[in-house]
């Protein structure tokens, strides 16, 4: 072995360090490629059911903690995702003949069949306690539930907790709903979380359902996400 020239010794040492870093990086990639680091127990259109609760013309006026347009956009995105990915969709309303009124026109247009089959509650606050609604959910055979609705502090908090207590996994999409005040909304979200409900947002949920934007289903959900939520930001 020839001795290093003192003038070139730093370059030799740097080269050795680079080779070692490369070897370590390659080893790390090798380990990652052979170990499953993916999240377990993801929700997907194949194992979940979408429940849109009380998105009614009058009730939405009470949800001032979230901008009106944001609730509508997010609700549209959820309804479209359910319909376009063949996920079961169950709709319910409360006291349509009172100030709450009918479900939003957007829901009627996106999901006409689900709208026709909606569960019209006479006034039961916790829709999980209303047997026709609960049976409609059970009939899907799904144990993972996605919930969104109006308002979070009245019409969502109770069925979300009730479903968890019955052994279901529940994600509540917070920004597809709202409450009369920020305090009311945060209190209800905190209460649900303490009882085992997962609080999520529309963009976060759609990414979870898509899994891979390059897959046919993922590409379809990405289109929905862009058209309903991201387009107005990109083009602003």
| Fold of domain 48-226 | Rossmann fold (3.40.50)
- Please determine, for residue 24, whether its predicted confidence score (pLDDT) is greater than 90: no
What confidence score (pLDDT) does residue 29 get?
41
Residue ranges of domains in the chain: 1-37, 48-226
For residue 5, the model assigns a pLDDT of 57
Q: Could you read off the pLDDT of 84-120 as tens digits, one per residue?
A: 999 999 999 999 999 999 999 999 999 999 999 999 9
Is 155 a residue of the active site?
yes
Looking at the predicted structure, is the pLDDT value of residue 15 above 80? no
35-70 confidence digits (pLDDT tens): 455 678 999 999 999 999 999 999 999 999 999 999
Lowest mean pLDDT among 15-19, 42-46, 100-104, 137-141: 15-19
Cα–Cα nearest to 203, from 169, 171, 226, 183: 226
**Residue 192 in 3-state DSSP?**
helix
Long-range contacts of the stretch 138-144 (C-beta < 8 A, 24+): 140/49, 140/88, 140/90, 142/47, 142/48, 142/49, 142/88, 143/47, 143/167, 143/168, 143/169, 144/43, 144/47, 144/48, 144/49, 144/168, 144/169, 144/170, 144/171
Percent of the chain with pLDDT over 70: 84
Catalytic residue among 155, 160, 164, 224: 155
Predicted pLDDT of residue 232: 86
Which pLDDT does position 39 carry in this prediction?
74
Kindly tell me the sign of the dihedral angle through the C-alpha atoms of 9, 14, 19, 21.
positive
The pLDDT of residue 36: 56
Strands 169-173 and 48-53: unpaired
Note whether 229 and 73 are within 8 A (CB). yes
Q: In what order do the strands lie in the sheet with 119-121?
A: 119-121, 89-94, 48-53, 144-149, 169-173, 198-200
**In a 3-state reduction of DSSP, which class is residue 53?**
strand
Q: Is the predicted pLDDT of residue 226 greater than 60, yes or no?
A: yes
Least confident range of 23-37, 47-61, 64-78, 127-141: 23-37
Return d(Cα 105, Cα 120) in angstroms, integer. 16
Nearest to 221 by CA among 32, 229, 67: 229
Question: What does pLDDT average to over the chain?
Answer: 90
- Tell me whether the omega of the peptide bond preceding residue 151 falls within 30 degrees of 0, making it cis: yes
Lowest mean pLDDT among 26-30, 115-119, 165-169, 205-209: 26-30
């Amino acid at each position: 072995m020839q001795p290093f020239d003192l003038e070139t010794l730093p370059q030799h040492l740097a080269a050795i360090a680079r080779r070692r870093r490369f070897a370590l990086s390659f080893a790390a990639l090798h380990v990652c490629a052979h170990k499953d680091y993916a999240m377990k127990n993801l929700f997907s259109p194949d194992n979940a059911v979408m429940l849109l609760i009380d998105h009614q013309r009058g009730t939405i006026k009470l949800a001032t903690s979230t901008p009106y347009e944001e609730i509508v956009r997010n609700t549209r995105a959820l309804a479209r995702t359910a319909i376009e990915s063949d996920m079961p969709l169950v709709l319910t309303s409360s006291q349509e003949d009172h100030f709450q009124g009918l479900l939003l026109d957007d829901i009627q247009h996106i999901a006409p069949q689900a709208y026709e089959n909606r569960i019209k509650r006479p006034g039961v606050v916790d829709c999980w306690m209303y047997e026709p609604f609960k049976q409609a959910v059970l009939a899907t055979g799904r144990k993972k539930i996605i919930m969104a609705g109006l308002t979070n502090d009245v019409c969502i908090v109770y069925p979300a907790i009730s479903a968890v207590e019955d052994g279901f996994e529940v994600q509540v999409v917070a920004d597809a709903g709202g409450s009369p005040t920020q305090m009311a909304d945060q209190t209800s979200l905190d209460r649900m979380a303490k009882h085992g409900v997962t609080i999520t947002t529309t963009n976060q949920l759609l990414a979870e359902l898509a899994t891979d934007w390059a897959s046919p289903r993922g590409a379809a959900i990405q289109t929905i996400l862009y058209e309903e939520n991201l387009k107005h930001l990109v083009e602003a």
